[in-house]
Structure 1
Amino acid sequence: MHHQRSSIAAAFVAAIGIGAFASLAAAQDGASKVSSPEDEIARYREMLQDGNPADLWIARGEDLWKQKQGPRQASFEQCDLGLGPGVVKGAYVQLPRFFQDTGKVQSLESRLLTCMVRLQGYSETQASKNHFSSDGKQSDMEALVAYVASESDGMKINVPLSHPKEKEAYRIGEQAFFFRAGPHDFSCATCHSQSGKRIRLQSLANLTDTTDAQKVYGTWPAYRVSQGTVRSTEYRLYDCLRQQRFPPVQYGSELTTALTEYMARNANGGVFSAPGLKR
């Protein structure tokens, strides 16, 4: 752990140094072309990718997948993520999807809650609480999500849209994406429906554009360097809704599932490369 932190710090310093050197060289040569903030951030992420701290979450998530828990002392090893009980390989890139046993379209997070209730014996209230890391406490759910997602690394995103419920979820997700409300009259689309926009140094992806959607959706869940933890798509949506000043949404809700369906389907065909690494 100490070695990995040292590597991260060294890479961060190196990234800053590279950016400063590039800018200095350009100034000395009288050139007008200087590395953009996006270029330097991308280089920083690339340097850290081989030692992504998310690997620790993946290992813990795999242990949690096999660990017997809950009133029924059961593991997740019989949890059906859409490809059959216990099949993890390739499952994430085909979620959300319709599940016959619940009659719902479910994301990974929503489906894991179902397995916590039906397999492990938790109540629905117990299953839906405390799934985000906070105050230095790591979330078991985010570790599970990191593990399951990692088992689809390098595969193409292939979210189905054949069942009527899947089509309905996509329509609801699209409507929610463009729905303006709250004290600032914001929607998801306010920040994420046009190309080339940014907030300060942060580029804003156009999630209505296939290429941008593939780049963004295909790199979550991700390790957030600024927060020192892995964050899932569910958390990212929760935080975006919070910033829009919307009321808190329940973990694994139909709203976040529909928004995930919309983003994931827009990203179809892209190569999944996660857990990613974010600022």
Structure 2
Amino acid sequence: MRFSRALAAAVCIGALSVVGIAIAQDADTEKAIERYRQMLKEDPWSNPGLLDVDRGEALWKTARGPKNVTLEQCDLGKGPGKVEGAFAELPRYFKDADRVMDVETRLLWCMEKLQGFNPADLVKRPHPGGGQPVKELGAIATWIANQSSGQKFAAKLDQPKEKEVVALGEELFFRRSGPFDFSCATCHSAEGLRIRLQGLPYLADPKEARKVVGEWPAYRVSTTQVMTMQHRLVDCYWQMRLPELQLGSDVSIALIAYLTKQATGGEITAPGLKR
């Protein structure tokens, strides 16, 4: 009996030691990852996402599509062709489309109306696979976001249709569904949560949302590509095993509007750097 108790105690102590070592190792790894991120931020030109910023600007100014025109007359909310500061005020309601739009959805609309592209073709496989560069629409969106870098999120979201979209986004953020009974809030409504070595931002808290939402679009080191916010949502939906989220859908715009509302006043630093 004494031997059994002694053995059980030894096993417990050993298990606690292993857990303690694992926690310490995780903490060291997370610190190392954070040091790596900080090194990249200290030298902004080391961010590979800036290559796609340049590519996006070139695409904006290049005549393309069946109509062979540029996007320089695209109105992002501040008047045709005015890009600086536009991302900071998106999503917003556009009267010409009678719809609330984020930056990527608005670009889809402009590429259809101005350049003559078929929107069905643009939303078919719109995001890159691992290791592949962001597609053309994503590169343009990254450039537009970068033109608001250093500014604060200031989308008003106070018109009736804008309020409806934000309310829908909040409902979707907290709604549990799918085979895992997950919601966005499962991972993003408490402090200190993590998945593997990745810390999960507390997006339900405006103070925390202001710190991270403005980093998207972001360059992801693990997949060596820029990922836009629409792409990030698609990836989250896939991880929750929910139906594929179509770029520019009402659901995607609603979630982005809610997150932007949460991040009001937060600084835009796109393209950010992510794991």
Q: Size of the alignment, in residue pairs?
A: 247
Native 8 Å contact 2:104 2:138 kept in 1: no
- 1:3 corresponds to: none
Percent identity of equivalent pairs: 48
Q: Which letter does structure 2 place at the counterpart of 1:220? A: W
For 1:73 and 1:136, how far apart are their aligned partners in 2?
30
For 1:45 and 1:271, how far apart are their aligned partners in 2?
18
For 1:160 and 1:199, how far apart are their aligned partners in 2?
33
Q: Which letter does structure 1 place at the counterpart of 2:198? A: Q
Please state if 1:46 is matched with 2:38. Answer: yes
2:157 to 156, 161, 173: 161
Please state if 1:125 is matched with 2:120. Answer: yes
Q: Which moved more, 1:35-44 or 1:146-155?
A: 35-44
Quote the RMSD (CA, aligned, Å).
Answer: 1.6
- 2:211 corresponds to: 215
For 2:247 and 2:59, how far apart are their aligned partners in 1?
19
Tell me the CA shift for residue 236 of structure 1. 0.5
Native 8 Å contact 1:222 1:230 kept in 2: yes
- 1:69 corresponds to: 64
Q: Which letter does structure 2 place at the counterpart of 1:180? A: R
Tell me the CA shift for residue 127 of structure 1. 2.8
1:230 is paired with a residue whose SS is: strand
Native 8 Å contact 2:130 2:224 kept in 1: no
1:225 to 212, 215, 221: 221
Please state if 1:177 is matched with 2:173. Answer: yes
For 1:256 and 1:243, how far apart are their aligned partners in 2?
15
2:215 is paired with a residue whose SS is: coil
**Closer, same or farther: CA 135–274 of 1 in aligned 2, 3 Å:** closer
Higher-Rg member (1/2): 2
For 2:40 and 2:98, how far apart are their aligned partners in 1?
42
Unaligned runs of 5+ in 1: 1-31
For 1:184 and 1:64, how far apart are their aligned partners in 2?
40
TM, length-normalised to structure 1: 0.85
TM-superposition CA deviations, 1:4-45 (whole Å, max 9, x none)? xxxxxxxxxxxxxxxxxxxxxxxxxxxx9x965443322211
Tell me the CA shift for residue 123 of structure 1. 2.0
Q: Which moved more, 1:200-209 or 1:106-115?
A: 200-209
Q: Which letter does structure 2 place at the counterpart of 1:45? A: R
**Closer, same or farther: CA 81–263 of 1 in aligned 2, 3 Å:** same
- 2:252 corresponds to: 256
Tell me the CA shift for residue 126 of structure 1. 2.0
For 2:183 and 2:160, how far apart are their aligned partners in 1?
26
- 2:3 corresponds to: none
Unaligned runs of 5+ in 2: 1-23
Native 8 Å contact 1:132 1:141 kept in 2: no
1:78 to 67, 70, 73: 73
For 2:80 and 2:157, how far apart are their aligned partners in 1?
22
Tell me the CA shift for residue 230 of structure 1. 0.4
Native 8 Å contact 1:117 1:127 kept in 2: no
Native 8 Å contact 1:65 1:75 kept in 2: yes
**Closer, same or farther: CA 153–213 of 1 in aligned 2, 3 Å:** same
1:218 is paired with a residue whose SS is: helix
1:77 is paired with a residue whose SS is: coil
Q: Which letter does structure 2 place at the counterpart of 1:127? A: L
- 1:91 corresponds to: 86
Please state if 1:191 is matched with 2:192. Answer: no
